[in-house]
């Protein structure tokens, strides 16, 4: 593999043995994903699979009245649409780019062809899908049971794990959608965390000042989800 794809940050792709990456190599391309880009809506066929390099992607659960809430955050530890490696699939979620950056992309059909020939890719796909399932069911409980401030801290930590910066560029509207709350609630919670010295909040920008403080203020779900990934995909973070 040569050119920009020779230096991959995505932990799933780098976990593959070199001979399996070589099978995938001719089918991979690097794409830039802008914040807010829609990758799939519910019911869309998953024809492209994305392996985030330094972007962050949100899976959103939609209601009939247009309300939405995030069910999972995906970055360089995982992939978006990886279930399509096994067989043709439709998206169950709205999938949006929440932090812009690069991703490695492969057509689902080409990925399935390699999956059918690569035991290593089949194993990695199974473990990733189990980790993502654990992530989403934890999110269900978190969104129902935990206070907004704790969930906000969890969400900031999850995003911080997946980028190479202490600065997260997000609008109030986007944060409100992630947390399933009103924008006024986002303002109040961000102001409280800023008063505690944990973040600096400006219009559309959150600077993380005290990660240890955010970890102390976050709900248990942050650690539960992270440990799930680390158990199933040991190179997920670090």
Mean confidence (pLDDT) of the chain: 91
Q: Which of 136, 96, 113, 137 is nearest to 27 (CA)?
A: 113
pLDDT at 123: 97
Segment 182-208 shows an average pLDDT of 90
Segment 199-211 shows an average pLDDT of 91
CB neighbour list of residue 192: distance below 8 Å, 6 or more residues apart: 149
* The two three-digit tokens of residue 84, written as one number: 């399509």
pLDDT at 121: 97
pLDDT at 187 over 90: no
Q: Domain 3-143 is classified in which CATH homologous superfamily?
A: Jelly Rolls (2.60.120.10)
DSSP class of residue 65? T
CATH architecture of 147-229: Orthogonal Bundle (1.10)
Segment 155-171 shows an average pLDDT of 88
Radius of gyration from C-alpha coordinates of the chain: 18
DSSP class of residue 26? G
Q: What is the pLDDT of residues 27-48, one digit of tens each?
A: 999 999 999 999 999 999 999 9
Instruction: Give me the residue spans of the domains in the chain.
Output: 3-143, 147-229
pLDDT at 238: 67
pLDDT at 69: 86
pLDDT at 6 over 60: no
pLDDT at 96: 94
Say which range, 40-54, 57-71, 103-117, has the weakest mean pLDDT.
Answer: 57-71
Segment 92-96 shows an average pLDDT of 94
Do 147-229 and 3-143 fall under one CATH topology? no
* 3-state DSSP assignment of residue 10: coil
């Amino acid at each position: 593999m040569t050119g920009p794809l020779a230096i991959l940050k995505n932990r799933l792709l780098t976990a593959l043995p070199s001979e399996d990456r070589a099978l995938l190599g001719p089918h991979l391309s690097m794409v830039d994903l802008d914040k807010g880009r829609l990758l799939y809506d519910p019911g869309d066929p998953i024809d492209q699979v994305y392996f985030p390099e330094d972007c962050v992607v949100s899976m959103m659960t939609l209601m009939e009245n247009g309300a939405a809430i995030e069910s999972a955050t995906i970055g360089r530890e995982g992939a978006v649409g990886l279930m399509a490696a096994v067989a043709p699939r439709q998206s169950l979620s709205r999938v949006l780019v929440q932090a812009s950056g690069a991703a490695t992309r492969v057509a689902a059909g080409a990925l399935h062809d390699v999956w059918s020939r690569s035991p290593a890719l089949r194993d990695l796909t199974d473990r990733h899908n189990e980790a993502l399932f654990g992530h989403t069911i934890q999110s269900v409980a978190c969104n129902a049971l935990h206070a907004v401030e704790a969930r906000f801290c969890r969400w900031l930590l999850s995003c911080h794990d997946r980028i190479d910066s202490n600065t997260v560029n997000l609008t109030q509207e986007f944060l409100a959608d992630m947390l399933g709350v009103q924008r006024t609630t986002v303002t109040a919670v961000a102001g409280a965390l800023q008063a505690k010295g944990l973040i600096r909040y400006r219009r559309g920008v959150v600077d993380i000042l005290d990660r240890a403080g955010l970890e102390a203020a976050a709900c248990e779900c942050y650690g539960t989800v992270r440990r799930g990934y680390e158990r199933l995909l040991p190179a997920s973070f670090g």
